[in-house]
Amino acid sequence: MRKDISTPQYTRSIIDKHKFTFKKSLGQNFLIDRNILDKIVSTAGVTSETGVIEIGPGIGSLTEQLAKSAKKVTAFEIDQRLIPILKDTLLDYPHVKVIHQDVLEANLHEVIEHEFKDVEDLMVVANLPYYVTTPIILKLLTERLPIRGIVVMIQKEVADRLAAEPGTKSYGSLSIAVQYYAVTKSEVKVPKTVFVPQPNVDSSVISLTLREKPPVDVDDEAFFFELVRASFGQRRKTLLNNLQNNLFTKEQKPEIEEALQSVGIDGKRRGEALSIEEFAHLSNALLALKRK
């Protein structure tokens, strides 16, 4: 029986054997802590009935632990140099498939239909490269895939933003966008010392459990998100200022004030103080003005 890929010694021996060099541009950091890997798999609730989409398997340390529990694993790897390495390290797991493609360019609905025909329970589980964390998570959520949820290890600062509550420093348009689609929870803090090479910052494992329907009713989803982004345009400015500068015009100030008043929101507040419910009410109230 092979040793776990994730042991520091075995990870280094794989890297040496294949003369692999890390590409900083791809944000490659391989996890060398079995305990953390086990926590990721258990947080995702992976069982023999679960199909898993993994993103950025690296040399396969997380893939291996997922494969031990899951019915099937399909992993997306962007780096051509890792494809032969994964073929070698995952030899014992015939129910693992590696696709050499950038997940941001993949048609995930097609992949799911093709790879997971016989799977009822589907999860996305990954140790995500820091530089593409946000676009990947937003793609997974906005495409409304038939998945139960997402469990990813990401930069701690980004994890804090995803799970942030109103009135906190980390709360922003990303918090609202993600919480519109999923219930977010920071699960495990991960020190930078458990990676090769060691990144500059600590990480967190975060779970996103997909909602059956959004927590708020909005009349126009695209405008709702536009409004939220505009409200955080300049964090130090008031809501009224941000709206007239980033979404409307100064001439429309009286109408913006009227809409704010109609939903009981003080325009002197800042975007970070508003709950997702307040943004939804405001979005519905301002929609007619936007359509003028």
Q: What is the pTM of this model?
A: 0.93
Q: Which residues does 21 contact at the CB level (< 8 Å), separation at least 6?
A: none
Is residue 290 within 8 Å of 229, Cβ to Cβ?
no
CATH 3.40.50.150 residue window(s) in the chain: 8-210
- Which pLDDT value is given to residue 257? 96
Q: Which residues does 205 contact at the CB level (< 8 Å), separation at least 6?
A: 36, 39, 40, 43, 151, 152, 153, 159, 186, 187, 188, 190
- Which pLDDT value is given to residue 47? 97
Q: Which of 217, 214, 213 is nearest to 285 (CA)?
A: 217
- Which pLDDT value is given to residue 28? 87
The burial of 211, by beta-carbon neighbours within 10 Å (0-12 exposed, 13-18 middle, 19 or more buried), is given as: middle
Alpha-carbon gap, residue 212 to 263, rounded angstroms = 26
Extract the annotated binding site. 29, 31, 56, 77, 102, 127
Evaluated on CA atoms 212, 188, 96, 199, the torsion sign reads positive
The CATH code belonging to domain 8-210 is 3.40.50.150
**pLDDT, block means (10 residues), the chain with 292 residues:** 83 94 85 96 98 97 97 97 96 97 97 96 95 95 97 96 96 97 96 92 97 97 97 93 94 95 96 97 91 72
- Which pLDDT value is given to residue 256? 96
Is residue 59 within 8 Å of 31, Cβ to Cβ?
no
Q: Which residues does 123 contact at the CB level (< 8 Å), separation at least 6?
A: 44, 45, 46, 50, 51, 52, 53, 147, 148, 149, 150, 151
> Looking at domain 221-291, which of 1.10.1200.10, 3.40.50.300, 1.10.8.100, 2.170.120.12 is its CATH number?
1.10.8.100
- Which pLDDT value is given to residue 1? 52
Q: Which residues does 152 contact at the CB level (< 8 Å), separation at least 6?
A: 124, 125, 126, 127, 128, 133, 137, 205, 206, 208
- Which pLDDT value is given to residue 289? 81
Is residue 41 within 8 Å of 66, Cβ to Cβ?
yes
- Which pLDDT value is given to residue 45? 98
CATH 1.10.8.100 residue window(s) in the chain: 221-291
SS3 228: helix
Extract the annotated binding site for S-adenosyl-L-methionine. 29, 31, 56, 77, 102, 127
> For residue 184, what are its two tokens?
């977010």
Q: Are strands 149-155 and 182-190 parallel, antiparallel or unpaired?
A: unpaired
